[in-house]
Structure formats: C-alpha cells, structure tokens
Chain A
C-alpha cells in the first residue's frame, strides 16, 4: 500500500451540486497532485499543491479548486457539477519536486 488515502471511495451527485474530495498524503510527502481519469483514458492533471500553495495547474476551469492543509492533506472542490465531471479522481503524493508519485485508490464520482 502507498499510504495515500482518499475519501470517499464512491460518490453520486446531481448536476449543479458541489463536491469535496479528500486526500491524505503519504507520511513525509509535502506535495499533492490531483488527476481526473475518465473511462478508457489516462489521468489528466488538474493541479498540484506544494507546501499549501498551488504549484501548477492543468487545463481545468476555475470551478475546480483545491486546498492543502499544514499536515499536507488536501481537498479537491468542484462546483456546479456537470455530467462530464463523472470520472475517477486520483490524488498522488510526492516529496518536493521529485516527480515519482504514489497514488491513492481514487474517488469514483458519478454525476446524474
């Protein structure tokens, strides 16, 4: 096991609602990255947090936002959910700028 945990594991939301997904990083890791993985696709980079600051962002709209806390755990918030937001959301933790990352088991979000 990687030591990266995500909650919840599954979630069903209605279009237009808001959702918060949570991630606890591996002990000793201070960087958290979030990814969206649609069925049959590779993970798409949403953003990365390093020491509580956003360190980079992929091509996702502002309704995707995040936070990192002093203990390096993180949240992903998505507002105004759309049907296309249905996907597996993955959190990965790493140390500093080291690119090797370890993933949590993911949160499967279904928007109906």
Chain B
C-alpha cells in the first residue's frame, strides 16, 4: 500500500463547478499536511496547509480527518486557471515528506 494515495483522475469539470479531491495516508504519526499545485512541466507550488479544524482560502477549502487518515480539498466556482495537478503531501519525523502521485484537474469553458 502506498503511503499517500490519491485518485489520479483526470477530473473534467465545467467552469463554475465544485470539485473535491480526497487523499489517504497510512502513517498515523504524520504531523503536517499540505496541498500543492503543479502545472504541466513546472515545479510544485504550495497551495495551502491542512489543519484538523479545517481551513479556507478563498474558493479553496481543505480538511483533515486524523481518525480516518484522509485529507480533502474542495474547489468552488472552478476557473479555467485551476486546471493543474493537485498533490497531497504528508510530512512526518520533521523531514520525511511524502507526495501523492497527484490528481489531474481539467476545467473546461
């Protein structure tokens, strides 16, 4: 079983749609959680951290469920510019950072 698992997609959605991604992790001792965004042939960029209380940044909402060991990302009112690969990231032991394989999102006009 992979340490961090994501649905690879692709998710094809129209502009304005709401889309949700889930990610599961296997190490219950994991300490920090993030969503990164990666555009084609570019480096990953930090989208947002994920907290147990949930956090929101504009159209993006991230949640963490430690009991079930999953993380979610919700994107509301999708824009064409949201098309990218979304990487779920789990950090443990201070240095061990594990990336999921990513979920591809295509937003169409």
Are A and B a genuine interacting pair, yes or no? yes
Question: Among B95, B98, B99, B101, which residue has its beta carbon within 8 angstroms of that of A55?
Answer: B95
Q: Does A33 contact B (CB under 8 A)?
A: yes
Which residues in A have their C-beta under 8 angstroms from that of B93? 56
CB distance from B11 to the nearest CB of A (A): 16
Within 8 A of A (CB), among B33-51: 34, 42-46, 49
Determine the interface band of chain B, counting residues with CB < 8 A from chain A: 20 to 34
CB distance from A23 to the nearest CB of B (A): 12
Q: Given A33-B95, A42-B87, A56-B96, answer yes or no on A100-B46 (Cβ-Cβ < 8 Å).
A: yes
| Smallest Cβ-Cβ distance to B94: which chain A residue | A97
Main secondary structure, interface of A, reads loop
Which residues in B have their C-beta under 8 angstroms from that of A100? 34, 46, 49
The CA of A58 and the CA of B100, in the complex, are separated in Å by: 15
Q: Is the CB of A48 within 8 A of B43?
A: no
The CA of A98 and the CA of B81, in the complex, are separated in Å by: 29
Query: How many residues in A have their beta carbons less than 8 Å from beta carbons of B?
Result: 24
Q: Given A42-B87, A42-B102, answer yes or no on A99-B43 (Cβ-Cβ < 8 Å).
A: no
Q: Is the CB of B46 within 8 A of A43?
A: no
Question: Among A45, A50, A102, which residue has its beta carbon within 8 angstroms of that of B98?
Answer: A45
Q: Is the CB of B101 within 8 A of A40?
A: yes
The CA of A67 and the CA of B94, in the complex, are separated in Å by: 19
Q: Given A33-B97, A40-B101, A56-B93, answer yes or no on A99-B34 (Cβ-Cβ < 8 Å).
A: yes
Which residues in B have their C-beta under 8 angstroms from that of A90? 43-44
Which 6 pairs show the lowest CB-CB distances between chains A and B?
A56-B95, A42-B99, A103-B43, A99-B91, A99-B32, A48-B95
A-B contact pairs, 6 of them (CB 8 A): A2-B45, A40-B101, A99-B94, A100-B49, A101-B97, A103-B44
Interface residues of B (CB under 8 A from A): 4, 31-32, 34, 42-46, 49, 87, 91, 93-102
